[in-house]
Each structure stands twice: as C-alpha cells, then as structure tokens.
Amino acid sequence: MDGNGRWAQARGLPRTDGHTEGEENLARLVRIAVRADVGWLTVFGFSTENWIRPRPEVRHILGLHERLFGRVAELNELNVRIQWMGRPFDTPDARTPKYVQRAIRKAIRDTAANTGMVLTVAFDYGSRAEILHAARQARVGGQALTVASLGAHLYVPELPPVDVVVRTSGERRVSNFMLWQSQGAAISFTAKPWPEFDAEGLHTALSLVRG
Ligand code: IPE
Ligand code: MG
C-alpha cells in the first residue's frame, strides 16, 4: 500500500495523515473487492524493513493496525475472514508489540466463521524472512526440501498463488512481498498513491487476470 507519505506531502500534511487515510482506504477497498467477487485480498501493511522509520511514524502505523484489526463488525457484515502473516510472534526477530498481537488474535478469532473473501494483512512481514523460516521449518521436520514441502511451511500455506500484484504510487520495482507466491503473476501499475486507489484501479488489475 505504497504512497501514503507522498499523498500527504502533496497536500502539505504530515506523513502520518497519509497513513491514516491509507487505512481508511483499505476499509473502502475491502468493500469494493467483496462486491467485485475477489476471493483473496492480501495487503502489505508493514514490512520487516519499516521498523527503521522514525519512532513517531512507526507508533502511528502500529495504532492504525490496531484500528484495522478492530474492524470486526464491518468484516462480519461483509462475511470477510481476516488473516495475518508476518514473523511469528514467538520467534527471536519478531517485533510486533503485544497490543497489536492481541488485536490480531482477536480479529482472527472473531471473523473465523466467515466464508466470503479472505483478507490477509502482512505486518512485520518480509518475503525473504518467510522463505527462510519455511526452509528451516521443513528442515526441522526432517523433510526433503521441495517446492511442496517449503510451500507447506509458508506463514499462511492456504493462500493460493498470486494472480495479480498491484503496485501503487508509480513504483515499478519489486518489493520484499510474496516473492515465492507471485511467480507468474500479472502486475498492475498505477500512478495513484494508495489513499486514492479505488474501484477503477481494482477493476483494471482484475481485467489482467479475468480476461
Ligand atoms: C506505505 O506508504 C505505508 C507503509 C510502508 C507503512 P509509504 O510510507 O511508503 O509512502 P511513501 O512511499 O513515502 O509515499
Ligand atoms: Mg513507500
């Protein structure tokens, strides 16, 4: 969900306002994606690299994730099941604070029975960390390292292969996001920063994979 900072700067607002608007746009986009019959929506909320940002910005983004995972009533109304992926809370490098952990656990529990779209939020997530973790898990289990055995140890093994990756805010580079899962995926580029990504952007992305 790139471009929150630039969206704010272009309006003479602090970067944190851009993150706030980005969280609100995600709530809008979830509604739009459900209406468009999307089965799996996975968003990059906060990366393993983002912790080096200024403390106040990090704190603000943490609070927004608490708010996001607190949207249980909306998710239930939409029949959306929420998931999280990132460095497991009990591993040495994990950085997710306790209050965000609690919000994540509660949201997962309180939306577990929903049967519609699955929304997966990547928080304290990095694709390289995920692949390393999966490889180590497979090795601990004594399994031969194969595409299938590694795939079974990804953070959320039930996620299907990625159909289309959306890059917002004019970014045209690959990020540390779902590198294993997005082999062969289409990429949809848009100049719009994340807070402005809308139904039109989603439908453009879907048209790349729905013919
Ligand atoms: C994305 O917006 C939000 C996070 C990475 C948490 P950015 O903060 O990357 O916004 P830009 O790229 O500076 O515009
Ligand atoms: Mg950015």
Average pLDDT (146-160) is 97
> Does the CB atom of residue 9 touch ligand 1 within 6 A?
no
Q: Is the beta carbon of 206 within 6 A of some atom in ligand 1?
A: no
For 44, left (φ over 0), alpha (ψ -120 to 50), or beta? beta
* Mean pLDDT of the 57-71 span: 98
Among the bound ligands, name the one nearest to the CA of residue 194. 1
Task: Tell whether the model's pLDDT for residue 30 goes beyond 80.
Answer: yes
CA 134 to centroid of chain Cα atoms: 18
Q: Which atom of ligand 1 is nearest to the CA of 45?
A: 6
Q: What long-range pairs does 3-10 form, CB within 8 A, spacing at least 24? A: 3/168, 3/169, 3/170, 3/171, 3/192, 3/193, 3/194, 3/195, 4/193, 4/194, 4/195, 6/169, 6/193, 7/169, 7/193, 7/194, 7/195, 7/196, 10/193
Active-site annotation holds for 163: no
d(CA 184, CA 194): 24
User: What is the residue-averaged pLDDT of the chain?
Assistant: 97
Question: Is-catalytic flag, 2?
Answer: yes
pTM for the complete prediction?
0.97
8 Å CB contact between 91 and 135 = no
Segment 38-56 shows an average pLDDT of 98
Q: What pLDDT was estimated at residue 26? A: 99
Q: Residues 205, 188: contact at Cβ < 8 Å?
A: yes
Closest to 117 (Cα-Cα) out of 42, 40, 44: 40
